[in-house]
Amino acid sequence: MAAELFKARKKFVELVSKDVIKQLLDDIYDDGIVNEGEKDSILEENVSRTDKARSLIDTVRRKGDEASRKMIAHLQNRDATLYSELGLSCSQPAKPAAAPIQEQGWSTTLISSTEDFWREKQNDTSIYPVTKDSIKSRVALLITNIKFTDERWNRNGAEKDEENMEKQLNSLGYEVVKHTNLTGKAIDDAVIEFSKHPKLKGTDSVLVVLMSHGKLGAVLGVEWKEGTSGDETPDVFPIDNIYKHLGSERCPALLNKPKIIVIQACRGEKEGSVLIKDGPTSALACDDMNSSSENFEEDNLRFVHKEKDFISLLSCTPDTVSYRNRVLGSILIQYLAEVSNTFAHKDDIEELFRKVMQRFEDFSIQAKRQMPTKDRCSLTRRFYFFPGL
């Protein structure tokens, strides 16, 4: 079916009307083939009718045969003359292949894990332990910078990100510690304060979500100024500080527990085109020991890994930008919610992050591209959220 759309692409772009484009977008949105952000992007980011048509057909055909078949069927209903002229057929294939992730409908609410699924994982030593009591102690840190001292840097649409992430974290069972519009130092202070939260002893995991402008290795505070002079300290929060403050030495309450980090921010300015500018990354710290082992007695002293049980999802690759819809919020946060709602009941965190990344294979607004990256992963087991228990 995708091949049929490709063959009809040139004529479709030439002949389809604006009204039919809008109708088809409504149809495939209702089918779950595109989300609201993709729908709006096709309409708003493409000026001419032909560009809208080209973006529509390319988006659908990249999502596979089933998505293409559905759009062809909608075209038959909306414009039978054009359908006939393009020589299309919407017949169901005799033996459809297993639908890839992009072809499935996305749930708008979180699907709950079953009691049986949770029980079968309880004795699996390759999985981080999660009990019903530990779920009750879950806590997350959410920091969103929206309004900046220099208003040119205000992050329009980030209010939606904050709202979406708080809702998502709550639905996964996390009490949310929320901060908005912080300087770099205040972000650092908030992470330190979070590392002392009384619930950390009983929790099975923590989530830290930072959303702001950024550059390679840092998130920008709200007082950041472009072109900071040598005698001024730039208002930034070094990403590496998260790992220091929540690592084994400074936060023993989280020892051997998953620490999940999500950062929506640019990591540079390459590949222009600004919906937003946002960013992070980090260099792996090394542990330098000069003392010989004979100087230590086997008493109450034991070595633990300085950094373990972390996983991060960064919104883009190094030196590049990430994109935010001015109304709907960041593309990463939209996709993260869709994937979490649909698959958190049965997939572990690494698989969820992979599926978010897979969603970006089909993300394109004209020449714009974005690819999130998993970073600094030191998880030694699989972690499941078991939502709804």
Interval 166-224: pLDDT, tens = 999 999 999 999 999 999 999 999 999 999 999 999 999 999 999 999 888 899 999 98
Task: Give the C-alpha separation, 7 to 72, whole Å.
Answer: 13
User: CB neighbours of 34 closer than 8 A, spacing ≥ 6?
Assistant: 25, 28, 42, 59, 60
Task: Give the C-alpha separation, 189 to 280, whole Å.
Answer: 18
Q: Say if residues 65 and 96 touch (Cβ distance below 8 Å).
A: yes
Task: Give the C-alpha separation, 373 to 350, whole Å.
Answer: 11
Q: Which of 74, 197, 245, 266 is catalytic?
A: 266
345 part of the active site:
no
* Stretches in the chain below the pLDDT threshold 70: 1, 89-104, 227-232, 268-306, 363-368
Task: Give the C-alpha separation, 265 to 79, whole Å.
Answer: 42
Q: Which of 213, 245, 316, 345 is catalytic?
A: 213
213 part of the active site:
yes
Task: Return the H-helix or E-strand segment holding 208.
Answer: strand 206-211
Q: Say if residues 370 and 363 touch (Cβ distance below 8 Å).
A: yes
Cα Rg of the chain (Å, integer): 24
State how far the alpha carbon of 64 is from the alpha carbons of 5, 315, 352, in Å. 10, 25, 21
pLDDT score for 351: 96
User: CB neighbours of 102 closer than 8 A, spacing ≥ 6?
Assistant: 62, 63, 64, 67, 358, 359, 361, 362
pLDDT score for 382: 97
pLDDT score for 146: 94
Q: Rounded to two decimals, what is the model's pTM?
A: 0.66
| Alpha helix ranges (H) inside the chain | 2-15, 18-30, 36-44, 49-62, 65-78, 80-85, 115-121, 132-136, 158-171, 184-194, 240-246, 331-343, 349-359
Torsion angle of C-alpha atoms 384, 376, 371, 321, degrees rounded to 10: 130
Structure tokens, 338: 């869709």
pLDDT score for 298: 36
